[in-house]
Amino acid sequence: MNRHERKEDEVRRLLSAGQPQVPGDLAARAVARGVRLLRRDRVLRRIGWTLLALAAVAFLVWASVARPWEVPPTDVTPPLEGF
């Protein structure tokens, strides 16, 4: 028996076995799981936006204190000539 025939026999057995019984509360459990997933996604999205806003505020505070756009003062004075 080759692989194709084994697959065919397995499919025939599955189809001849009939339909399995579906639990009566399947729809209610699916709805409850969907509600939990939506709630979790909403919470994760809010946490993500909050972290993004905090990172933006932290960057603005650092930029206002450090002022990276200004040229830093030189530590060496130029030579004094003409005195």
Q: Model confidence over 65-79: pLDDT tens digits?
A: 999 888 887 778 777
pLDDT of residue 4: 87
Q: Is pLDDT at 83 greater than 70 in this prediction?
A: no
**Can you tell me the distance from the alpha carbon of 45 to that of 37, in angstroms, rounded to the nearest whole number?**
12
Q: Cα(52)–Cα(81) distance, rounded to whole angstroms? A: 54
6: closest CA among 14, 65, 41?
A: 14
> Is the per-residue pLDDT at 14 higher than 90?
no
- Domain spans of the chain, in order of start: 28-66
Q: Using alpha carbons only, how large is the chain's radius of gyration in Å?
A: 34
